[in-house]
Chain A
């Protein structure tokens, strides 16, 4: 790993995207007229010039070895003149001009374990976070749950038989590096116990005023412990958000016994039909049960299937629930409604039902 003494280059930003666009895109940039989805995982864009661009979309685990990246590069050279892209949901897309190459590409992708699909009224790849692979604050793993859930729901990735799109996402803690707060179904890792104070470490690595200021419920106060500056935590005020842990590593919340998973439903970011909406709590707690998290998988599957069986065409999960009402959602899914579903954070009153628009 010898180093050259070249002049240090900084602040150049990313390469210009034009370097990576296939000729057909350069020629038809801003000229696309419409698109069709001839089969799941294949989109054809037709330009006003008559040009046709065929996109083949395949699933990806997001975590890729450099060997797999080279494999994708090789596939791109074989089938799409060396051009490909990735989507905002981690799918890989090959950009073809020759429709006769679609079938062989799909076969090859499937043969190396990358199913093709995720278009139209389907479940696309899940947006997710790092989990135990890389994160210090993870309350659960990310990739493992995604794998287990998508193994079970693969049929909805490879077909387009759902009433509408459905976006699944997973975040391994409340920091939500993935946009789970506006997903049709969100899987969220949670802590359920206050932080444990590491009194030895705290004065060495944490700045007390910052720690105190970090708590949204003012549960943390400065104190001394064994003659050294420390903090004390009013545990009944703690809502396990872990904001203090982010500013002070001596306040860990991770707990093998009590960390777990919550399930949220009915969010969307698209403006189509209804305005964007937040996901709402469906299941407050499920256990962390690696390696395949059966409780989480079955709960998500149940919600997907109940929605698929009951929603009108084009109705996203949140729109469906708005139409049928939350009581019916809980009844149809068999999910128990508890005290924990009722909001008690800021502006909680806005979530109470203030009409007699009820179904029986």
Chain B
């Protein structure tokens, strides 16, 4: 049986996915989960790990939730609508 990946590894992989596609693709939590499970394989990564990894990323401030007609996870940035 394959050894599970750690929350940190999943978080790192997710962060990279979001960073590498910034401005081109908006990720929903479910998209990140599907991509992570695809990357590591079902035997090494599961839903709960993904959920924890997202929580880790958001609690540490590396990703933030955003809302544009649906909720996404993004690298923190100044939004288009913001006033000073």
A249 touching B26, Cβ below 8 Å: no
Give the complex CA separation of A248 and B68 in angstroms. Answer: 7
Contact of B26 among A210, A243, A246 (CB under 8 A): A210
> With contacts A207-B25, A207-B26, A210-B26 known, is A246 near B80, CB below 8 A?
no
A246 touching B69, Cβ below 8 Å: yes
> With contacts A210-B69, A214-B69 known, is A249 near B25, CB below 8 A?
no
Could you tell me which residues of chain B, from 14 to 72, have a CB within 8 Å of some CB in chain A?
24-26, 68-70
Contact digits for A189-213, partner B, Cβ 8 Å, 1 yes 0 no:
0000000000001001101001000
Give the residue name and chain of the A residue nearest to B81 (CB): A249
**Does A247 count as interface, using CB distance less than 8 angstroms?**
yes
Give every chain B residue within 8 A of A204 (Cβ-Cβ): 80
Give the complex CA separation of A214 and B79 in angstroms. Answer: 21
Size class of the A contact interface (CB-based, 8 Å): 10 to 19
Q: How far is the CB of B81 from chain A (nearest CB, A)?
A: 6
Q: How far is the CB of A243 from chain B (nearest CB, A)?
A: 8
B69 touching A247, Cβ below 8 Å: yes
Give the residue name and chain of the B residue nearest to A208 (CB): B24
Interface size for B (C-beta < 8 A) is 9
Interface contact tally, CB-CB below 8 A? 25
Q: How far is the CB of A215 from chain B (nearest CB, A)?
A: 12
> With contacts A207-B25, A210-B26 known, is A249 near B80, CB below 8 A?
yes
B80 touching A247, Cβ below 8 Å: no
B80 touching A201, Cβ below 8 Å: yes
Give every chain B residue within 8 A of A214 (Cβ-Cβ): 69
Give the residue name and chain of the B residue nearest to A206 (CB): B68
Give the residue name and chain of the B residue nearest to A243 (CB): B69
Q: How far is the CB of A176 from chain B (nearest CB, A)?
A: 15
Contact of B80 among A205, A207, A210 (CB under 8 A): A205
Q: How far is the CB of B68 from chain A (nearest CB, A)?
A: 6
Could you tell me which residues of chain A, from 224 to 264, have a CB within 8 Å of some CB in chain B?
243, 246-249
Give the residue name and chain of the B residue nearest to A210 (CB): B26
Give the complex CA separation of A201 and B81 in angstroms. Answer: 10
Give the complex CA separation of A210 and B70 in angstroms. Answer: 10
Give the residue name and chain of the B residue nearest to A207 (CB): B26
Give every chain B residue within 8 A of A246 (Cβ-Cβ): 68-69
Give every chain B residue within 8 A of A248 (Cβ-Cβ): 68-69
Give every chain B residue within 8 A of A247 (Cβ-Cβ): 68-70
Give the complex CA separation of A216 and B69 in angstroms. Answer: 14
Q: How far is the CB of A134 from chain B (nearest CB, A)?
A: 14
Give the residue name and chain of the A residue nearest to B24 (CB): A207
Q: How far is the CB of B51 from chain A (nearest CB, A)?
A: 14
Give the complex CA separation of A248 and B25 in angstroms. Answer: 14
Give the residue name and chain of the B residue nearest to A201 (CB): B80
Q: How far is the CB of B21 from chain A (nearest CB, A)?
A: 11
A210-B70, A249-B68 given. 5 additional CB < 8 A pairs? Answer: A205-B81, A207-B26, A207-B68, A247-B69, A247-B70
Q: 7 A-B contacts, Cβ less than 8 Å apart? A: A205-B81, A210-B69, A243-B69, A247-B68, A247-B69, A248-B69, A249-B68
Residues on B facing A (Cβ under 8 Å): 24-26, 68-70, 79-81
